[in-house]
Amino acid sequence: MERILNIETIKHTGEKVRVCGWVNTRRDHGKLVFIDLRDRTGLLQIVCQSALVKDIKEEYVLQIKGIIKERPENMVNKEIETGKVELQAENVEILAKSSPIPFDFMAEDLNLKLPTLLDYRPLTIRNPKIKSIFKIGEHITNSFRKTMKDLDFTGFESPNIVPAVAEGGADVFHVDYYNYNAYLAQSPQLYKQIMLGAFERVFTITHVYRAEPSITTRHLAEYTSLDAEISFIDSWENLMDICEKIIKNMFSDLEENCQKELSIHKVKVPLSGKKIPRIKMREVQQIILERTGRDNRKEPDLQPEDEQEICQWAKEKHGSELVFVTHYPTKKRPFYTHADPKDPDYTLSFDLLCRGLEIVTGGQRINDYDKLTANIKKWGNETKNFSFYLQTFKYGLPPEGGFALGLERIVKQVLNLKNVREAVPFPRDMERIDQRLSTLQKKKTKKSKR
Amino acid sequence: MERILNIETIKHTGEKVRVCGWVNTRRDHGKLVFIDLRDRTGLLQIVCQSALVKDIKEEYVLQIKGIIKERPENMVNKEIETGKVELQAENVEILAKSSPIPFDFMAEDLNLKLPTLLDYRPLTIRNPKIKSIFKIGEHITNSFRKTMKDLDFTGFESPNIVPAVAEGGADVFHVDYYNYNAYLAQSPQLYKQIMLGAFERVFTITHVYRAEPSITTRHLAEYTSLDAEISFIDSWENLMDICEKIIKNMFSDLEENCQKELSIHKVKVPLSGKKIPRIKMREVQQIILERTGRDNRKEPDLQPEDEQEICQWAKEKHGSELVFVTHYPTKKRPFYTHADPKDPDYTLSFDLLCRGLEIVTGGQRINDYDKLTANIKKWGNETKNFSFYLQTFKYGLPPEGGFALGLERIVKQVLNLKNVREAVPFPRDMERIDQRLSTLQKKKTKKSKR
């Protein structure tokens, strides 16, 4: 007999079926036992003679054969999708046993401290509310890919082991690569640009790595980047147009296909208005000054509270919980960023903020070989470390740019999660790789004596 | 004026258009110059007055405005898809210049030695035949994902930084993780299994890492793994059924959508017959003995020439260039592999060979907590390093198994490439990360003095 899924039982009233799943709850009523059996589609009530399920406890995995019966009207459970039926068990087989569960990780409103949530990730991920976070993540990734393919982008696999540091800064992870120094990629930037020479428009969904020296609610040491790069742009504003299309498609897709997941979290997708506003960083600082009295007009970047405030402004003025902030200072951006020809202290770059947090960063790149070479030096790098990459520009690359969406940050902002670590099944940070670092082996080098 | 693509020009005869692309070739005929302009859709012939394109050479990037004309019958070029038309240029703008090209990397039958091919990857990737390799790779990945979604699998992002070595062996890359020892994942195995507890059937497309100590034509240090894991299996043979479905869908998809790419490489997709044969490793060795006289019946694994030979056998006997080889010895497989209850020296595992090379490996896993814990010790590991993972089994996981497809190996076998390095844009091996290692910095530790 083929196994059927719990959700399918409602179409099989009166028939004998086989179902499989985990014991979600067990309620004993004398000789009768009621089990809520959980599979990937939800719960199903099983009614059995107690003798059939003697030693069976929560999280045991069962295979049950029996007859699907309609429940009497007054016993219908409207809370679950199979609430009109139940299965009268004739045969119960244990597929796997479980130790007594350490706490009620299936609770509807599981409210654990983050370290506990993550220490027990293999269990907490079974909770429907937590599980739904990763369904949202998968939808976002698929929606990004779909828009990319609709716009004739070519997908590729970008390597994660790289020979040089492209984004600058000290926050890189070192890899011992056959006794040579290598690094984990901070971004697929250079590879996207190389690929443009063959494909004109490319995207990659890849992991990137930042050895963040501190713990915040918005940084991960390993995260998923949804990366696009486009050549033959007429203006750097084309990039924001495409980015806006991706985001709007993504949010429509969530609204259409993830109502269940959104409602578990009691959230709606962020408003993006008719058109997402675009505003220069210096103008943002002016608005902040006017709205809050905080004078950050000389700062080279926005502070987290400024990002919150400008999103609030965008919502009030433009009905959008998203805002493009443009023209970040040249010295704060990587070597490949294109300066604004009208004001070279600022760049043709943008961040997209959503509900107070940067979820996309992008901009036009330098495609002129001589300017790029000069900038590599100016940023303190050696051109010989970039000679492979530089071939792309030495032999002709059109005007181009691109951007990167941070998957986990989008999930966090859509679901109003408190911490980006909740948005990824297996977050990496300076305290944890699955287990807490303190339980792992320290590196045996002089550096580790701290 | 909106840019149109070269392929679209055939629908715009008599109209003024704007096209953009690279100078593929330039032919001077007195005052007239013929340029083959290349964009992502192919070539277009441009006719211009020589004054318009004075200094323009190969790989310059141009924007050209002009009128699309039908060519006279005797001037039609059947070799290119736009061969019935040409563009009479009125205005030519240089979008990017190019240095003189170092060799003819656009040659139809580019026949470079592998190191040269890779040293110049940013250029060689522009060659249509080479570019087509990565189009095939993208199709294979998308086809895998499509079959997974059709079968109700949930996709997830598996982390690449891991705290412990799951597959065994010394071929792991070490990462300095905030002064703790960490590793690059050899496979997403443990994470797939954890995810089963929530989703029952999962897949991930992820990079995996093997610090291979030698160079062969079939190994990469970083490669893309198409990974699936399935619970509630009735038999480990279910795994091969699903794997066969993925492969057959993949090959049909290539036949339907990639004829152009397949014909550039003068290949057909591998035959898979009515059903891919399934045969035990010990029986394979018997057949090898009978066919070749080579007696490898005591060997714990197949040799490359045996893999070739058994695929030849499968083609002759079953009309399939693929064959499942099953029941590899227990001691050659990782700790989580399920032994055959009838003969515990052998496992419920399989490899799928294609045209003489392993492209998939998989099998049933141990889902019993006590047996798994015992095996971790037996394989010489400490259970405390796996305590996170072990929660999955401590709290009930059904019978399950899975497999991993090596993306680049499938590309190699489909296209009959000589070396798996050709199948990935940016291969990593013990001699190269883009540039040759000899041009990079050695690690400053005692270990590096060799």
List the single best residue of B6, B153, B161, B450 to mutate versus A (max A Cβ within 10 A): B161
The type of residue at B160 is N
Paired tokens of B340: 């055959």
Among A66-80, A325-339, B311-325, B432-446, whose mean pLDDT is lowest? B432-446
Q: For residue A287, with 0-12 CB atoms within 10 Å meaning exposed, 13-18 middle and 19 or more buried, which class applies?
A: middle
B98–A222 C-beta distance less than 8 A: no
What distances in angstroms separate CA A25 from CA A37, A56, B234, one per listed residue? 7, 10, 25
Tell me how close the Cα of B368 comes to any Cα of chain A, in angstroms: 7
Question: For chain A, give me the number of helices (H) and strands (E)?
Answer: 11, 21
Local confidence band at B339 (pLDDT 50, 70, 90 cut-offs)? very high
Question: Residue B362: CB partners within 8 Å, gap ≥ 6?
Answer: B239, B240, B243, B349, B350, B352, B401, B402, B403, B404
Say which of B121, B141, B163 has its CB closest to residue A434.
B163
The answer to whether A97 contacts B407, with C-beta atoms less than 8 Å apart, is: no
pLDDT at B344: 97
Pairing of β A201-209 and β A154-155: parallel
User: Do the chains contact at A398 and B96, CB–CB below 8 Å?
Assistant: yes
Torsion, CA A116, CA A108, CA B159, CA B353, rounded to 10: 130
Q: What confidence score (pLDDT) does residue B395 get?
A: 98
B446 falls in which pLDDT band (50, 70, 90)? very low
What local confidence, expressed as pLDDT, does residue A444 receive?
60
Q: CA distances (Å), B189 to each of A190, B155, B212, B244, in order?
A: 30, 14, 19, 20
Closest chain A residue to B38, measured at CA? A198
Minimum CA–CA partner of B126 in chain A: A198
Q: How far is A136 from chain B (nearest CA, A)?
A: 11
Query: What tokens appear for A327 in the block?
Result: 């023209």
**In this model, does residue B214 exceed pLDDT 80?**
yes
Residue B123 has a pLDDT of: 97
pLDDT (tens digit per residue) in B219-239: 999 999 999 999 999 999 999
Residue B114 has pLDDT above 60, yes or no: yes
pLDDT of residue A445: 52
Q: What is the pLDDT of residues B347-385, one digit of tens each?
A: 999 999 999 999 999 999 999 999 999 999 999 998 988
Answer yes or no: do B176 and A177 touch at CB < 8 A.
no
Cβ–Cβ below 8 Å for B96 and A39:
no
User: Over the Cα atoms of chain B, what is R_g?
Assistant: 27
Q: What is the pLDDT of residues B22-50, one digit of tens each?
A: 999 999 999 999 999 999 999 999 999 99
Q: What is the pLDDT of residue A448?
A: 37
- Written as six digits, the tokens of B384 are 């405390």
Enumerate the residues of chain B whose CB falls inside 8 A of the CB of residue A177.
173, 221, 433, 437
* Cβ contacts of A208 on chain B, cutoff 8 Å: none
Mean pLDDT (whole number) for B441-447: 59
Backbone φ, ψ for residue B422 (5° rounding): -70, -20
Q: Which of A98, A180, A222 is closest, CB to CB, to B441?
A: A180
A125-157: string of b/e by CB count within 10 Å (b at 16+)? bbbbbbbbbbbbbbbbbbbbbebbeeeebbbbb
Looking at CA atoms only, how far is residue A21 from chain B in angstroms?
8
Give the mean pLDDT of chain B: 95
Maximum average pLDDT range among A371-385, A431-445, B398-412, B430-444: B398-412
Q: How far apart are CA B49 and CA B187, in angstroms?
A: 58
Q: Which residues of chain A have pLDDT under 50?
A: 446-450
Q: Which of A122, A177, A391 sits opposite B123 (nearest CB)?
A: A391
Annotate A39-54 with DSSP letters as a single string: ETTEEEEEEEEGGGGT
Note whether B120 contacts A391, CB cutoff 8 Å.
yes
Residues B327/B298, Cβ–Cβ less than 8 Å: no
Q: For chains A and B, count residue pairs whose Cβ atoms are closer than 8 Å.
A: 286
Write the burial class of residue A28 (CB in 10 Å: 0-12 exposed, 13-18 middle, 19+ buried).
exposed
Q: Which chain A residue is nearest to residue B194, measuring alpha carbons?
A: A122
Could you identify the residue written with the tokens 């499509």?
A: B146
Distance from first CA to last CA of chain B, Å, rounded? 62
Question: Distance between CA A183 and CA B74 in Å, rounded?
Answer: 57
Instruction: Output the CA torsion sign for A79, A81, A83, A87.
Output: negative
Give how far B443 is from chain A: nearest CA, Å: 5
pLDDT at B449: 36
Q: What pTM value is reported for the model?
A: 0.96
Model confidence at B448, pLDDT cuts 50, 70, 90, reads very low
**B447: confidence class by pLDDT, cuts 50, 70, 90:** very low
Residues of chain A with Cβ-Cβ distance to B420 below 8 Å are none
pLDDT tens digits, one per residue of A42-77: 999 999 999 999 999 999 999 999 999 999 999 999
What pLDDT does A450 receive?
33
- From CA B99, how far away is CA A444, in angstroms rounded? 48
Judged against a pLDDT cut of 90, whether residue B70 lies above it is answered with yes
User: Searching chain B, which residue's CA lies closest to the CA of residue A435?
Assistant: B388
Contacts of B159 in chain A (CB under 8 A): 207, 222, 426, 428, 433
Which residues on chain B are in Cβ contact (under 8 Å) with A426? 158-159, 191
What is residue A351's three-state secondary structure? strand
Identify the pLDDT of residue A442.
Answer: 74
How far off is chain B from A302, nearest CA to CA, in Å?
A: 28
**Nearest-Cα residue of chain B relative to residue A40:** B199
A-chain residues near B125 (CB < 8 A): 194-195, 197-198
What is the pLDDT, as a whole number, of residue B146? 98
Helix (H), strand (E), coil (C) string for chain B: CCECCHHHHHHCCCCEEEEEEEEEEEEEECCEEEEEEEECCEEEEEEEEHHHHCCCCCCCEEEEEEEEEECCHHHCCCCCCCCCEEEEEEEEEEEECECCCCCCCCCCCCCCCHHHHHHCHHHHCCCHHHHHHHHHHHHHHHHHHHHHHHCCCEECCCCCEECCCCCCCCCCCEEEECCEEEEECCCCHHHHHHHHHHHCEEEEEEEEECCCCCCCCCCCCEEEEEEEEEECCCCCHHHHHHHHHHHHHHHHHHHHHCHHHHHHCCCCCCCECCCCCEEEHHHHHHHHHHHHCCCCCCCCCCCHHHHHHHHHHHHHHHCECEEEEECCEHHHCCCCECEECCEEEEECEEEEEECCEEEEEEEEECCCHHHHHHHHHHCCCCHHHHHHHHHHHHECCCCEEEEEEEHHHHHHHHHCCCCHHHHCCCCEECCEECEEHHHCCECCCHHHCC
